[in-house]
Structure 1
Amino acid sequence: MGEIRNCPSCGEFFNYVGIRDVCYKCAQKEEEMYQIVYRFLRKRENRAATVDRIVEATGVDRELLYKWVRKGRLHPAVFPNLGYPCDNCGRLTTQGKLCERCTEELKTDLRTYEAAKEFRENVQKNERATYLADKGKHAKEN
């Protein structure tokens, strides 16, 4: 069973069943735009076109291009200058939500955090061991 939603493009109500995120009319318009973009990109001289060039030549909305790349309808392997913005910095990426640079920065930060956490745990363990050893010496002296 679907749910009633407002189309984010035109505002009309439509029955959302998980297939399309827009109403039928807007989906048809998107498909027409996709065909225009795909015909443009199929030409050998346009295969390396940038997002800006595609928007300029076809009139398609930049967000639609990003959506098609995310969903795998336009493949960066075939069209190398296509991508969508990284959720963190906005640079174009072709997979996941973060670009390579942001992914590496995140990995570095996690490694640093884990190393610091391990260091703190070792310091605490050594302090406890020293405290217990000192406490044992004092007990023997008394």
Structure 2
Amino acid sequence: MAELRHCPSCGDFFNYTGVREVCGKCGMNEERVYEEVYRFLRKRENRAATIERIVEMTEATESMLHKWVRKGRLQPAMFPNLGYPCDNCGKLTTKGKLCDTCTAEIKSELKTFEAATEFREAIQQKDQATYLSERKR
């Protein structure tokens, strides 16, 4: 079932069916820009182009490029300087929501937290054992 939404690009109303986030007119414009970007990147000399260079040479915006990489329409394996911002620090990444640095940092903090929790539980168990052994006497 479709719902009525505002197009984030032009502000017009459109029936959102879950396929496109924008109205039909803006969707066709995005497809035209995508084709332009893809033609630009297919040239051997442009395959290593940065996001800034692609924006400069085509009509694409950074947010469009990030969206296309996130959805898998532009493959970072083929175009190594493409990516989208990490949700935590903003550094470009090509998979998931977090870059490798932020992922490693969160894993490290989680290990520290788990170790502290285990230590706290061990102390509580020791205190309970001591309390119970004194009580039995």
Q: Which residue of 2 aligns with 1:140?
A: none
Q: Does 1:80 pair with 2:94? A: no
* Structure 2 letter corresponding to 1:112: T
Superposed structure 1 runs of 4+ greater than 3 Å apart: none
SS at match of 2:76: coil
User: Cα offset for 1:131?
Assistant: 1.1
How is 1:92-111 mapped onto 2 (pairs within 5 angstroms)? Answer: 92-111=92-111
CA distance in 2, matches of 1:16, 1:111: 43
CA distance in 2, matches of 1:80, 1:69: 11
CA distance in 1, matches of 2:25, 2:59: 18
Q: Larger Cα Rg: Structure 1 or Structure 2?
A: 1
User: Cα offset for 1:59?
Assistant: 3.0
CA offsets 1:80-110 (integer angstroms, 9 cap, x no match): 1100000000000001110000011111111
CA distance in 1, matches of 2:59, 2:102: 31
Aligned length: 137
CA distance in 2, matches of 1:128, 1:87: 43
CA distance in 2, matches of 1:132, 1:112: 30
Q: Which residue of 2 aligns with 1:121?
A: 121
Q: Which residue of 2 aligns with 1:14?
A: 14
- Percent identity between matched residues is 64
User: Cα offset for 1:136?
Assistant: 2.1
Q: Does 1:91 pair with 2:117? A: no
TM-score (ref. length: structure 1)? 0.94
Q: CA RMSD in A?
A: 0.7
Q: Does 1:41 pair with 2:41? A: yes
SS at match of 1:20: coil
TM-score (ref. length: structure 2)? 0.98
SS at match of 2:15: strand
Q: Which residue of 1 aligns with 2:58?
A: 58
CA distance in 1, matches of 2:59, 2:11: 22
CA distance in 2, matches of 1:18, 1:59: 26
* Structure 2 letter corresponding to 1:16: Y
CA distance in 1, matches of 2:69, 2:123: 49
* Structure 1 letter corresponding to 2:70: R
